[in-house]
Chain A
Amino acid sequence: MTTPPLSVQPVDETPWRQFVRDFMQSRIALCGLALLVVVLFLALFAPWIAPQNPYDLSKLDLMDSKLAPGAQSMMGSTFWLGTDGMGRDMLSAILYGLRVSLLVGVVSGVIALAIGASLGVSAAFFGGRYEQILMRIVDIQLGFPAILVALILIAVLGSGVEKVIMALITVQWAYYARTARSAALVERNKEYMEAARGLGLPTWRVLLKHLIPNTLPPLIVVGTVQVAHAIALEATLSFLGLGLPITEPSLGLLIANGYEYMLSGKYWISVYPGVALLLTIVAINLVGDQLRDVLNPRLAR
């Protein structure tokens, strides 16, 4: 426990401002945040930034295939990160791949958070048999490694963007459910909850407006880590050929495509998408680490 600061807090100190100030204290987390913003920006505006549309087959020229980074194309433009076996500009392919990877990671993370949080909070709120059965399922599922669960699901569902998202949701919801339940168990017995119930508010209102918002901080922390995991897992599945289709190559698929060329020394087809994947995951993790420190009530000042 740290002793509370003696100085009187300034009047304009809103929780948000305090949060921002706390977050800014770690320089490495700020680097992570900056990196994350850049990655998000690149992914969002990929169609405008990318030198070519990597899926437009008419723009590809086989004469340009497997060029080293920095080489000139037949048309005179430069391939800063080289080209792949199809003559596709790697920089453009990476920007588009980043888009797919982030989309899959974030969408699955948000849906899993919504499902897991509502189940976890309601389990803590209602208790009884419902809670027991639910938490048992969570325990059983968390006993198996994510890759195995995802593999079973992909074998069952088949591949494709929505199937992969579905598999990732199934893998992740249990983490959120567990976190939400333990957070809600603590919040449930606090005075404001008693007050809300004492006012005679309907149950749904107590849950939605009072209990769930107060369980959010730990969920956000778990969420950032989970999104990074989801992106890595999707890349792994795609690398194994079980994830996204060739028509929507994520970073994992790009890496897999370059794999066969790597043994002959054409490293860039695999390496640069990998670096992009890495930077994304590391950036998210850095931000997540700092969020955990800032939002942790035990370290609250």
Chain B
Amino acid sequence: MLVFILRRLSQTALVLLVTSLLVFAGLFVIGDPVEILISPEADQIERERARVALGLDKPGWMQYLLFVKNAASGDLGKSFVYGRPALDVIFERMPATLELATVAMLISIFVGIPLGLYAGLKPDSKIAKAIMAISIVGFSLPTFWVGLMLIMLFAVQLGWLPSTGRGPTVEFLGMQLSIVHWEGLKYALLPGINLALFKLSLIIRLTRAQVRENVLLDYMRFARAKGLRKSRVLGVHLLKNIMIPLVTVIGLELGSVIAFAIVTESIFAWPGMGKLVIDSIFQLDRPVVVAYLMITVLMFVFINLVIDILYSILDPRVRLTAAKN
């Protein structure tokens, strides 16, 4: 186990290094941030001063080495645009993204599993077929397009929900959150549904497949034969057994929800990390882009690692050495 974790961690370091090198090299090639940041009227001396202040006067490889050296001590550089540490800028936006991700995950779990259960238990009913059709649609439609349609229907035509921005925030457990009260939650609903749709379809399909496999197994027949109440057979026996693959997928999707939030945040002007990184790419704010990608990649690798470990604990049949081949 320890060897496995150590190997994964060293692999993580390698992935981070390669990503940072790639991103750094790439960002170095495109555009000159000074041109965007400084007013066109600035003279040569002013430009040069800005270049030195941002550390852009040094050759590219030196900038990268400096970056790696500072990154090792937790300093990912200063944002060109905000003039503050890039990490601070990102962490400031993080609650908004996590909030959105939470809403999306909750919707997909609490809507997806019941619908999947129903579709798996009564596969031939009309409603089950409708559920599956919706899940196929949710799978194949591009997220941004669904977002636009949601805005058009619920915000423009019906006027039920606001379409852009984040609602007023309140202090909650030391964080500025908007979803803990209705005024703020209203704003999170449309983007939350938008972000949830793909996961929702995934969870519906997975639950249905699991249920269909499990209802035929002996333990289910035995539980029914014992005369247990239907709610107990389904709620305890069945649900427990289909949980393992579901937990894995839900965990894995947690990371991808944060990545996909980039699209949803851009559509709904939700002030999270995803919107920040898109803006930063346009403004050539290299430190923020690099820091965002580092954090996201790190988060991903970490989630994957935790799930692998959890999986081996939940299901003894899965041996970690299997990861080798």
Contact = CB atoms under 8 A, between A and B. Distances in A.
Nearest to B257: A145
B300 A155 contact: no
B142 A145 contact: no
Given A240-B266, A278-B141, A262 B23 contact: no
Interface stretch (A7-15, A115-123, A146-154): A146-154
Interface stretch (A56-64, A215-223, A231-239): A231-239
B148 A262 contact: yes
A270 interface: yes
Given A155-B281, A255-B148, A145 B260 contact: yes
A157 B22 CA distance: 10
Given A236-B142, A267-B152, A145 B26 contact: no
Nearest to A139: B323
A143 interface: yes
Given A156-B25, A262-B152, A285-B140, A236 B259 contact: no
Contact of A228 (B25, B140, B266, B300): B140
B259 A277 contact: no
Given A156-B25, A240-B262, A270 B300 contact: no
Contacts of A265: 156
Given A242-B281, A270-B148, A148 B22 contact: no
Contacts of B293: 152, 155
A274 B145 CA distance: 7
B278 A240 contact: yes
A263 B325 CA distance: 52
A255 B142 CA distance: 12
A147 B156 contact: no
A138 interface: no
A52 to B, nearest CB: 25
Nearest to A239: B144
Interface in B282-308: 282, 289, 293, 296-297, 300-301, 304
Contact of B259 (A147, A156, A228, A240): A147
B258 to A, nearest CB: 9
A239 B145 CA distance: 9
B18 to A, nearest CB: 9
B98 interface: no
A147 B266 CA distance: 14
A282 interface: yes
Interface string B159-175: 00001000000000000
A23 interface: no
B253 to A, nearest CB: 9
Contacts of A240: 144, 262-263, 266, 278
Contacts of A156: 22-23, 25-27, 29-30
Interface string A248-274: 000010010001001101010011001
Interface residues of B, number: 44
A4 B268 CA distance: 55
Interface string B212-252: 00000000000000000000000000000000000000000
Contacts of B155: 263
B176 interface: no
A281 B27 CA distance: 33
A139 to B, nearest CB: 9
A255 B145 CA distance: 8
Interface string B21-57: 0110111011100000000000000000000000000
Contact of B144 (A132, A154, A236, A285): A236
B26 A140 contact: no
Contacts of B142: 232, 235-236, 277, 281
Given A155-B26, A156-B22, A262-B148, A147 B15 contact: no
Contacts of A239: 144, 263, 266
Given A145-B255, A152-B22, A228-B140, A158 B30 contact: yes
A241 interface: yes
Interface string A118-135: 000000000000001000
B300 A281 contact: no
A262 B145 contact: no
Contacts of B296: 148
Nearest to A289: B136
11 contacts: A156-B22, A156-B29, A156-B30, A236-B143, A239-B144, A240-B266, A262-B152, A263-B156, A265-B156, A278-B141, A285-B140
Given A148-B262, A155-B289, A156-B29, 20 more contacts: A140-B11, A144-B259, A147-B262, A148-B300, A151-B277, A155-B23, A155-B281, A155-B293, A156-B26, A157-B26, A157-B30, A235-B144, A236-B143, A239-B266, A240-B262, A240-B278, A262-B151, A262-B156, A270-B148, A274-B145
